[in-house]
Amino acid sequence: MRVIAGELGGQLLVAPRGWKVRPTSDRVREAVFSALGAKVDGSSVLDLYCGTGALAIEALSRGARRALLVDRDDRPARGNVERLGLGQRAELVRFDVGRWLEAHAQEVGSSRFDIVFVDAPYRLADRVEQELDTHLPGLLAPSGRVVVESAARRPLRVQSLECLRQRRYGSTDVSFYGERV
Protein backbone atom coordinates (compact mmCIF):
# COMPACT_ATOMS: atom_id res chain seq x y z
CA MET A 1 0.00 0.00 0.00
CA ARG A 2 1.35 3.40 -0.97
CA VAL A 3 0.46 7.07 -1.35
CA ILE A 4 -0.69 7.35 -4.96
CA ALA A 5 -0.05 10.98 -5.93
CA GLY A 6 1.00 14.41 -4.76
CA GLU A 7 3.98 15.46 -2.66
CA LEU A 8 4.18 12.05 -0.96
CA GLY A 9 3.40 9.99 -4.07
CA GLY A 10 5.07 6.59 -3.93
CA GLN A 11 5.68 6.62 -0.17
CA LEU A 12 4.73 3.38 1.56
CA LEU A 13 1.90 3.22 4.09
CA VAL A 14 2.19 0.63 6.81
CA ALA A 15 -0.69 -1.59 7.91
CA PRO A 16 0.68 -3.68 10.79
CA ARG A 17 -0.06 -7.40 10.59
CA GLY A 18 -2.50 -8.72 13.13
CA TRP A 19 -4.18 -5.34 13.66
CA LYS A 20 -7.85 -5.06 12.87
CA VAL A 21 -7.61 -2.65 9.95
CA ARG A 22 -8.86 -2.99 6.39
CA PRO A 23 -7.01 -0.34 4.41
CA THR A 24 -8.68 1.18 1.38
CA SER A 25 -7.06 -0.38 -1.67
CA ASP A 26 -4.89 1.70 -4.00
CA ARG A 27 -7.43 1.16 -6.80
CA VAL A 28 -10.34 2.48 -4.73
CA ARG A 29 -8.33 5.43 -3.37
CA GLU A 30 -7.27 6.36 -6.90
CA ALA A 31 -10.90 6.32 -8.06
CA VAL A 32 -12.08 8.36 -5.04
CA PHE A 33 -9.47 11.07 -5.53
CA SER A 34 -10.04 11.18 -9.26
CA ALA A 35 -13.73 11.86 -8.56
CA LEU A 36 -12.93 14.52 -5.93
CA GLY A 37 -10.47 16.26 -8.23
CA ALA A 38 -9.74 19.90 -7.35
CA LYS A 39 -11.99 19.78 -4.24
CA VAL A 40 -9.03 18.32 -2.32
CA ASP A 41 -6.67 21.29 -2.77
CA GLY A 42 -6.82 23.54 0.31
CA SER A 43 -9.56 21.45 1.92
CA SER A 44 -10.23 20.59 5.53
CA VAL A 45 -10.59 16.80 5.86
CA LEU A 46 -12.21 14.56 8.47
CA ASP A 47 -11.34 10.85 8.34
CA LEU A 48 -13.73 8.78 10.48
CA TYR A 49 -12.68 5.21 11.29
CA CYS A 50 -9.31 6.23 9.88
CA GLY A 51 -7.48 2.90 10.38
CA THR A 52 -4.07 3.39 8.72
CA GLY A 53 -4.95 6.98 7.79
CA ALA A 54 -4.56 6.21 4.08
CA LEU A 55 -7.45 8.43 2.95
CA ALA A 56 -6.46 11.48 5.01
CA ILE A 57 -2.78 11.03 4.13
CA GLU A 58 -3.64 10.82 0.42
CA ALA A 59 -5.68 14.03 0.77
CA LEU A 60 -2.80 15.80 2.53
CA SER A 61 -0.39 14.62 -0.15
CA ARG A 62 -2.70 16.10 -2.80
CA GLY A 63 -2.92 19.53 -1.14
CA ALA A 64 -5.47 19.33 1.68
CA ARG A 65 -4.76 22.03 4.25
CA ARG A 66 -5.45 19.92 7.34
CA ALA A 67 -6.88 16.59 8.40
CA LEU A 68 -8.50 15.29 11.56
CA LEU A 69 -8.32 11.50 11.91
CA VAL A 70 -10.63 9.76 14.39
CA ASP A 71 -10.54 6.11 15.42
CA ARG A 72 -10.85 4.01 18.54
CA ASP A 73 -7.25 2.84 17.92
CA ASP A 74 -5.17 5.51 16.22
CA ARG A 75 -1.83 3.65 16.40
CA PRO A 76 -1.78 2.50 12.74
CA ALA A 77 -2.56 6.03 11.49
CA ARG A 78 -0.22 7.67 14.01
CA GLY A 79 2.68 5.54 12.79
CA ASN A 80 2.09 6.59 9.17
CA VAL A 81 1.51 10.27 10.01
CA GLU A 82 4.71 10.46 12.08
CA ARG A 83 6.81 8.49 9.60
CA LEU A 84 5.72 10.77 6.74
CA GLY A 85 6.25 14.00 8.72
CA LEU A 86 2.61 15.14 8.61
CA GLY A 87 2.26 15.99 12.30
CA GLN A 88 1.78 19.72 11.65
CA ARG A 89 -1.19 19.17 9.33
CA ALA A 90 -2.77 16.02 10.77
CA GLU A 91 -4.45 15.76 14.16
CA LEU A 92 -5.23 12.29 15.51
CA VAL A 93 -8.03 11.65 17.98
CA ARG A 94 -8.20 8.31 19.79
CA PHE A 95 -11.90 8.04 20.50
CA ASP A 96 -14.94 5.97 19.63
CA VAL A 97 -16.29 7.58 16.45
CA GLY A 98 -19.93 7.51 17.58
CA ARG A 99 -19.11 9.23 20.85
CA TRP A 100 -16.85 11.72 19.08
CA LEU A 101 -19.65 12.59 16.64
CA GLU A 102 -22.09 13.17 19.47
CA ALA A 103 -19.64 15.30 21.47
CA HIS A 104 -18.54 17.28 18.42
CA ALA A 105 -22.13 17.97 17.37
CA GLN A 106 -22.79 19.56 20.76
CA GLU A 107 -19.82 21.95 20.54
CA VAL A 108 -20.86 25.51 19.79
CA GLY A 109 -19.19 26.72 16.61
CA SER A 110 -17.68 23.32 15.89
CA SER A 111 -15.61 23.21 12.73
CA ARG A 112 -16.97 22.02 9.44
CA PHE A 113 -15.12 19.94 6.89
CA ASP A 114 -14.88 20.14 3.11
CA ILE A 115 -14.37 16.39 2.78
CA VAL A 116 -15.45 13.68 5.23
CA PHE A 117 -14.26 10.12 4.70
CA VAL A 118 -16.23 7.32 6.36
CA ASP A 119 -14.74 3.84 6.24
CA ALA A 120 -16.45 2.08 9.16
CA PRO A 121 -15.79 -1.61 9.77
CA TYR A 122 -18.17 -3.37 7.40
CA ARG A 123 -19.71 -5.39 10.24
CA LEU A 124 -20.77 -2.14 11.98
CA ALA A 125 -22.79 -0.72 9.07
CA ASP A 126 -26.17 -1.36 10.72
CA ARG A 127 -25.06 0.15 14.04
CA VAL A 128 -23.41 3.32 12.73
CA GLU A 129 -25.82 4.29 9.97
CA GLN A 130 -28.19 6.26 12.23
CA GLU A 131 -25.48 8.20 14.08
CA LEU A 132 -23.81 9.12 10.78
CA ASP A 133 -27.17 10.12 9.32
CA THR A 134 -27.81 12.34 12.34
CA HIS A 135 -24.41 14.04 12.67
CA LEU A 136 -22.75 14.22 9.24
CA PRO A 137 -24.85 17.09 7.82
CA GLY A 138 -23.72 19.32 10.71
CA LEU A 139 -20.06 18.55 10.04
CA LEU A 140 -20.13 19.26 6.33
CA ALA A 141 -19.07 22.65 4.96
CA PRO A 142 -21.21 24.20 2.21
CA SER A 143 -20.47 22.33 -1.06
CA GLY A 144 -18.62 19.69 0.97
CA ARG A 145 -18.55 15.98 0.20
CA VAL A 146 -18.91 12.86 2.30
CA VAL A 147 -17.26 9.76 0.84
CA VAL A 148 -18.54 6.50 2.32
CA GLU A 149 -16.76 3.20 1.73
CA SER A 150 -18.69 0.08 2.68
CA ALA A 151 -19.39 -3.50 1.70
CA ALA A 152 -21.09 -3.83 -1.68
CA ARG A 153 -23.37 -6.54 -0.31
CA ARG A 154 -24.56 -4.21 2.51
CA PRO A 155 -23.84 -0.59 1.55
CA LEU A 156 -23.90 1.99 4.31
CA ARG A 157 -26.31 4.80 3.39
CA VAL A 158 -26.60 8.39 4.64
CA GLN A 159 -30.25 9.32 4.08
CA SER A 160 -29.89 12.89 5.38
CA LEU A 161 -27.59 13.83 2.49
CA GLU A 162 -28.07 13.54 -1.25
CA CYS A 163 -26.26 10.64 -2.92
CA LEU A 164 -24.38 12.28 -5.79
CA ARG A 165 -22.48 9.27 -7.08
CA GLN A 166 -22.16 5.58 -6.32
CA ARG A 167 -19.64 3.09 -7.70
CA ARG A 168 -18.76 -0.51 -7.00
CA TYR A 169 -15.18 -1.80 -7.02
CA GLY A 170 -15.28 -5.55 -6.52
CA SER A 171 -16.70 -6.11 -3.03
CA THR A 172 -16.44 -2.40 -2.13
CA ASP A 173 -19.17 0.23 -2.52
CA VAL A 174 -18.13 3.90 -2.64
CA SER A 175 -20.81 6.58 -2.37
CA PHE A 176 -20.38 10.36 -2.54
CA TYR A 177 -22.83 12.57 -0.67
CA GLY A 178 -23.50 16.29 -0.50
CA GLU A 179 -26.12 18.65 0.91
CA ARG A 180 -29.66 18.24 -0.32
CA VAL A 181 -30.59 21.06 -2.68
pLDDT digits (tens, 9 = 90+) for 57-81: 999 999 999 999 999 999 999 999 9
Sheet holding 66-71, edge to edge: 90-94, 66-71, 44-48, 113-118, 140-151, 172-178, 162-169
**Confidence band of 157 (pLDDT split at 50, 70, 90):** very high
For the chain, domains (ranges, CATH) are: 26-178 (3.40.50.150)
> Which band of pLDDT confidence, cut at 50, 70 and 90, is reported for residue 49?
very high
pLDDT tens profile 77-105: 999 999 999 999 999 999 999 999 988 87
Number of DSSP helices (H) and strands (E) in the chain, helices first: 5, 7
25 falls in which pLDDT band (50, 70, 90)?
confident
